[in-house]
Structure 1
Amino acid sequence: MLSGLDGEERVLRGIASRETARLRDGTRPWTWWLERAVLHGRRFGYTNTLLIAAQWRAATDVRSYEEWRAAGRQVRRGEAGIRVFGPSGGVRAVFDVAQTTGLPLPAVPRGPSAAFDWAEHVRHLREVEADSVGYLVRAWLGWEPRPPVFPVNAFWAGPDAGDRILRLSRRLHARARGPASSAAGIMDAAHRFFQTRCEESWVPAYLAERGFPARVRRRRRIGHAPPGPHTLTDHLRGLGHDDEEIVGAGLARQGDDGVHDTFRDRLMFAIRTPDGAIAGFLGRRRDGADGPKYLNGPATALFHKSELLYGLHEARDRLAAGARPVLVEGPLDAVAVALAGHAAVAACGLSLTGAQLAALGGVADLAATGVLVALDGDPAGRSGAVRAWETLAGVPGPVDTVALPPGRDPADLLRGGGRAAVRRALRARAPLADAAVDAAIDRAGGALATVEERLAAVRAAASVIAARPPEAARQAVRTAERTGVPAWLVTEALIEAARRPRRAGPPRPAG
């Protein structure tokens, strides 16, 4: 039986699939989706734009309950929410402006502050995507462009192309508006502020004690958010940014008693898009302080945590030159691995997503290099490595993992043994598929004491093995040895698993 939430997710996925099919077969023109993306695309992705249009055809300005409250408006009692997918998964409710009352909304700034040519930024896209980006950027700038002419059947329609169009359109729109009024401008101002406050804080001594040289702090532009509740907000106000812009950028939160800085007394890392734009921040608290160890800013027009990898921009030259990407958990781990001479990226606490893998594949040749997973050496880290397999199974190159000492991560190894300790740990690698298959056997087979347990373990292992056919022969032998089931029976389970329809997975990365 599906839970209520699973059932709701399935219904919404069905709606999105139906609307995508209508775009592909020409029942709805591609311009229909573009016109709705003008209204909702800067806040929501491809799929949610379809869901909003399907549930509230007249929707013009859709936000969460909290966002409306921050804007000085209240959702009327009894209003039914529009159901969309949240940035971290699951279903959430949002509301159209027609469902709210309160303060009038400020006028939206229109037009670029200077001439801006986005043709250079879209020439790597196919024509229909480039035309779509150009239309969205012009529309968001208030230019009222005429929609381009597209083929009747939008065969490209789907989350992959739709979200790619929206991500690039958001970035180009921010640049076109100019640094004084765009989200990119306010993020750069906040980053400079954090850096200027770093030298006199506890951060330099903390990094030195952890084994990070001073040059790392300067090269990575690590900063410090002061402990005061309004320090950054007051600074940004002084630069001409209003409270709505500061809250919208995720740098402050609206409380009952006013606006408060999101980050307070934290070591600050800037999280960048692959092309170097600051999308958001990640703050680490001081050891022993209250609150979560790491704190992300909220989702914004630029910051979508599930699409970004810390260190991808910083490692881009190494990756483009053929370095093998090393996937770690946190930003300090990424810096420690980079000091040891590797190209490291951090998922920042998330299980690796398809969007993150696609971003990595846009920089690295994964068919040649594959991926090395180096998550923390504790049960959570090992579980995270196994979960990463669900996304990494489609990588054409080798996918390996390293067995870090129990309870240690790469930053701990740097602290205790320097770069040599990190290098030694990264040399002790094994196929990630081994860990994924073994985990499936352990989970389904229990003690492997009965025929039923051994067969259940074989079937579970076969489902994992089927995701990566080139390794099937070796994994079949391993499974037979571990479970004591004859090899021919394991082979039959593999054939059965290969015939079963597989759930839609993440997009296969380029390369």
Structure 2
Amino acid sequence: MAIAHPTPISDQPAPPDPRRLHAANRAAVAFYREQLGGEHARGVRDYLRNRGLATLARHDSDDGPAQWLVGYAPRAWTALTHQLRAEGFTDQELLTAGLSVRTRNQRLIDRFRDRLMFPIRDPAGRPLGFIGRAAPAAGPAVPKYLNTPETALYRKGTVLFGVAEQQDRIQAGWRPVVVEGPIDAIAIWLSHPSNSRSGAIGVASCGTTLTHAQASIVCNMPGAGSGIVVAYDDDPAGHTAIERAWSVLRDAIPPGPLLAAELDGGDPADLLRSDGGRAAVRNAVQDQAYPLVQAVIDHRLTKLTTRHPRLFEDVAGRCAAVRAVVPLLFEAVNAAQATELATRVTERLGVGLDTVAIAMAEHVDRSVHDAGTALEQAALGRPPPTHPIHRSPSAAILAFPTLRMDGTTHRTDARAPADQRPVGRRDSIGRTRNS
């Protein structure tokens, strides 16, 4: 007779119920919303008014400005924790949802205190977590932004703030604008009247550099075909973020051009406070937007001059700078843009087009050599070289005007019919030889 062995009891906690976590976050949204209207939140309301965002404190409806559900986490240590316990949520649920934290003496306290609270929601509108901005009276030692940690619901690299709140504009095909923070996203939203038939929508990457998953979300928006705009702060951190966004969005194969907003040294939230702020924001992210690769070139040259202030004072330094940015010329979407970018480099560095042409030829030579080396290694069953292999020029770059040494140009288009091509053929570095 077989002996029945008792089923071992696991000491692992039961997996969290997503429905309970969503419910806890909804209760937190309601609590923070109520707190924003209290006397202790007067300073936060003043801050919203001074930033041109006073309308966000309205509680009169779930659409219009109130659709953003902005709230305030009070300064008290356990205000939210006590409230949600009273509503029947367990300590484990509050910890798992990222709403509370446990101290060294095992006491449960609120994660967010004295902060302006922005719910992060999925496209269906369910709250997943929060972005908390320090209140105006917070000292310099307090982190400006604090996010919900990674939880069973919230994976910050896979969601974008502002998607749930702007589903109507997204489906209407408005142009997406990637921004750094929630206030920038709301500033773009406020800059368009509610009865606008077209415009731009701001989405924020929730306190992280743009990820591949977030880039995929943006590229799949109906309005991405008219262009995707990046509108980050005009500072060193913002420049680094722009380079990252350009690389990630390019790899996601956007359906339209990649553009940078003309922010004149600020960000969308700063522009909103300027004279004619709403119109200024609209112009910056629509009419005045320019190729993102141009912004990347400018930032790389600025970085070089910051590190080496005298770099452009001699020929060797200027040539080194040309070599540093010339690979980006192959990212142009067409011949006209490539020529414009090359001209911009010559003006910035004080060199001739012939210098850019030679640097481009060197770059093509390296690309061909690297690709050939990789092919040889593969044929021998060896791993490819560890150095990166440059991407082949896109089809659009086949139409890039060949820069002559005298600064004039002629067009060589390998895709054109034979009777429309220049006589002769080009060798590996772009020189035209007679047949």
Per the normalisation by structure 1, the TM-score is: 0.59
Aligned to 1:252: 100
**Distance change (3 Å), C-alpha of 1:451 and 1:469:** farther
Superposition pairs of residues 193-342 of structure 1, within 5 angstroms:
193-200=31-38, 201-202=41-42, 203-212=44-53, 213=55, 214-215=57-58, 217-257=65-105, 258-290=107-139, 291-341=142-192, 342=200
Secondary structure, in 3 states, of the residue corresponding to 2:273? helix
**Distance change (3 Å), C-alpha of 1:444 and 1:381:** closer
Aligned to 1:369: 226
Equivalents in 2 of 1:397, 1:251: separation in Å? 39
Post-superposition Cα deviations, 1:368-406, rounded to whole Å, max 9, x if no partner, equal 122112222344334432332222334341222223233
Aligned to 1:410: 268
**Distance change (3 Å), C-alpha of 1:318 and 1:496:** farther
Post-superposition Cα deviations, 1:154-183, rounded to whole Å, max 9, x if no partner, equal xxxxxxxxxxxxxxxxxxx83xxxx3x3x2
Secondary structure, in 3 states, of the residue corresponding to 1:391? helix
CA shift, 1:443, in A, is 4.0
Equivalents in 2 of 1:305, 1:410: separation in Å? 22
Correspondent of 1:388 among 245, 257, 260: 245
CA shift, 1:357, in A, is 0.8
Secondary structure, in 3 states, of the residue corresponding to 1:416? coil
CA shift, 1:230, in A, is 1.3
Secondary structure, in 3 states, of the residue corresponding to 1:194? helix
Q: 1:190–1:232: 8 Å Cα contact kept in structure 2?
A: yes
Q: 2:160–2:206: 8 Å Cα contact kept in structure 1?
A: yes
**Distance change (3 Å), C-alpha of 1:205 and 1:459:** same
Aligned to 1:400: 259
Correspondent of 1:435 among 269, 274, 295: 295
Amino acid at match of 2:118: F
**Distance change (3 Å), C-alpha of 1:108 and 1:219:** closer
1:345 aligns with 2:214: no
CA shift, 1:221, in A, is 1.0
Is the deviation greater in 212-221 or in 251-260?
Answer: 212-221
Secondary structure, in 3 states, of the residue corresponding to 1:264? coil
CA shift, 1:480, in A, is 4.5
CA shift, 1:189, in A, is 1.8
**Distance change (3 Å), C-alpha of 1:108 and 1:388:** closer
Post-superposition Cα deviations, 1:6-26, rounded to whole Å, max 9, x if no partner, equal xxxxxxxxxxxxxxxxxxxxx
Amino acid at match of 2:143: P
Post-superposition Cα deviations, 1:459-511, rounded to whole Å, max 9, x if no partner, equal 3213333455645454344435544252431331442465554599xxxxxxx
Which structure 1 residue ranges, 4+ long, deviate > 6 Å from structure 2? none
Correspondent of 2:28 among 190, 194, 205: 190
Equivalents in 2 of 1:502, 1:387: separation in Å? 19
Secondary structure, in 3 states, of the residue corresponding to 1:393? helix
Per the normalisation by structure 2, the TM-score is: 0.68
Equivalents in 1 of 2:332, 2:249: separation in Å? 10
Equivalents in 2 of 1:279, 1:462: separation in Å? 43
Equivalents in 2 of 1:224, 1:249: separation in Å? 18
Q: 1:254–1:260: 8 Å Cα contact kept in structure 2?
A: yes
**Distance change (3 Å), C-alpha of 1:475 and 1:243:** same
Aligned-residue RMSD, C-alpha: 2.8
Equivalents in 1 of 2:292, 2:124: separation in Å? 30
Equivalents in 2 of 1:313, 1:371: separation in Å? 19
Equivalents in 2 of 1:340, 1:497: separation in Å? 47
Post-superposition Cα deviations, 1:202-234, rounded to whole Å, max 9, x if no partner, equal 343432232222556522111111221111112
Equivalents in 1 of 2:318, 2:237: separation in Å? 26
Equivalents in 2 of 1:289, 1:319: separation in Å? 35
Superposition pairs of residues 458-469 of structure 1, within 5 angstroms:
458-467=322-331
Q: 1:316–1:363: 8 Å Cα contact kept in structure 2?
A: no
CA shift, 1:458, in A, is 2.7
Secondary structure, in 3 states, of the residue corresponding to 2:72? strand
Equivalents in 1 of 2:70, 2:178: separation in Å? 20
Equivalents in 2 of 1:360, 1:206: separation in Å? 30
Equivalents in 2 of 1:208, 1:443: separation in Å? 36
CA shift, 1:441, in A, is 3.7
CA shift, 1:267, in A, is 1.1
Q: 1:374–1:404: 8 Å Cα contact kept in structure 2?
A: yes
Amino acid at match of 1:462: V
CA shift, 1:278, in A, is 1.5
Correspondent of 2:357 among 471, 488, 503: 488
Q: Unmatched 5+ residue regions in structure 2? A: 1-9, 59-63, 193-199, 371-387, 392-435
Secondary structure, in 3 states, of the residue corresponding to 1:197? helix
Post-superposition Cα deviations, 1:34-60, rounded to whole Å, max 9, x if no partner, equal xxxxxxxxxxxxxxxxxxxxxxxxxxx
Q: 2:173–2:221: 8 Å Cα contact kept in structure 1?
A: no
Post-superposition Cα deviations, 1:262-319, rounded to whole Å, max 9, x if no partner, equal 0012111001123322221011121131311111111112212222221122223212
Amino acid at match of 1:392: L
Equivalents in 1 of 2:85, 2:222: separation in Å? 40
Q: 2:233–2:267: 8 Å Cα contact kept in structure 1?
A: yes
Secondary structure, in 3 states, of the residue corresponding to 1:275? coil
CA shift, 1:423, in A, is 2.9
Equivalents in 1 of 2:162, 2:389: separation in Å? 32
Q: Unmatched 5+ residue regions in structure 1? A: 1-96, 98-103, 110-172, 505-511
